[in-house]
Amino acid sequence: MTDNPTTPTYAALSVPPETGNGYPDAYARSSAARIKRKLGNHGGIGNFGVNHVTLPAGCQSALRHWHTRQDEFVMVLTGELVLQTDAGERVLRAGDCAAFPKGTGDGHALQNRSDAEATYLEIGDRTEGDEVDYSDIDMAVRWIDGAEYFVRRSDGSVIQKAE
Q: Residue 38: which of 150, 105, 160, 126 has the closest Cα? A: 126
What separation in angstroms does the CA of 105 have from each of 53, 54, 95, 119, 136?
A: 24, 26, 26, 26, 12
Residues 40-66: pLDDT tens digits? 999 999 999 999 999 999 999 999 999
Confidence of residue 8 (pLDDT cuts 50, 70, 90): confident
> What's the confidence (pLDDT) of residue 142?
96
Q: For the whole model, what pTM was predicted?
A: 0.92
What separation in angstroms does the CA of 73 have from each of 8, 31, 81, 124, 149?
A: 22, 19, 15, 6, 24
Q: Tell whether the model's pLDDT for residue 5 goes beyond 80.
A: no
- Give the domain ranges of the chain: 15-131
> What's the confidence (pLDDT) of residue 2?
56
CATH classification (class only), 15-131: mainly beta
Confidence of residue 159 (pLDDT cuts 50, 70, 90): very high
Percentage with pLDDT > 70 across the chain: 96
